[in-house]
Amino acid sequence: MGEGIVLCPPFGSEYIRAHRALRVLGDRLAGAGFDVFRFDYFGTGDSGGTGKQLSLGGASEDVSAAIDELCAIAGVERVTVAGVRFGALAAIRVAPGHDRVDRLILWDPVDSEAAAEAMSDPETLDDQGDFWHDGYPVAASLVTELRQFDESAWNRTAELPTLIVCSEATPPERLRRLHAGDAWTGSWADFPEEVSWAQVNDLGHGAVPVRIFDRIVAWCT
The SS3 of residue 2 is coil
H or E segment to which residue 3 belongs = strand 3-8
What are the domain boundaries of the chain? 3-220
- 10 Å CB burial of residue 48 (0-12, 13-18, 19+) is exposed
pLDDT in tens, 1-58: 589 999 999 999 889 888 889 999 999 999 999 999 999 999 998 999 999 999 999 9
User: Can you give the pLDDT of all 221 residues of the chain as single tens digits?
Assistant: 589 999 999 999 889 888 889 999 999 999 999 999 999 999 998 999 999 999 999 999 999 999 999 999 999 999 999 999 999 999 999 999 999 999 999 999 999 999 999 999 999 999 999 999 999 999 999 999 999 998 888 888 888 999 999 987 777 777 777 877 777 778 999 887 776 676 655 554 447 888 999 999 999 99
CB 103 within 8 A of CB 162: yes
pLDDT in tens, 36-51: 999 999 999 899 999 9
Pick the CATH number of 3-220 from 3.40.50.1820, 4.10.520.10, 3.50.50.60, 3.90.1560.10: 3.40.50.1820
CA distances to 46, 135, 141, 221 from 212, rounded to whole Å, are 26, 28, 33, 14
Q: What is the pLDDT of residue 196?
A: 64
CA distances to 22, 147, 197, 216, 217 from 27, rounded to whole Å, are 9, 35, 18, 12, 11
Burial 7-23 (b: 16+ CB within 10 A, else e): bbbbbbebbbbbbebbe
Q: What is the pLDDT of residue 218?
A: 97
Contacts of 116 (CB under 8 A, 6+ apart): 143, 144, 146, 147
Contacts of 50 (CB under 8 A, 6+ apart): 43, 137
Dihedral sign (CA 177, 178, 179, 181): positive
Q: What is the CA radius of gyration of the chain?
A: 17
Q: What is the pLDDT of residue 205?
A: 47
Q: What is the pLDDT of residue 202?
A: 52
Q: What is the pLDDT of residue 215?
A: 96
- SS3 letters for 78-133? EEEEEEECHHHHHHHHHHHHCCCEEEEEEECCCCHHHHHHHHCCHHHCCCCCCEEE
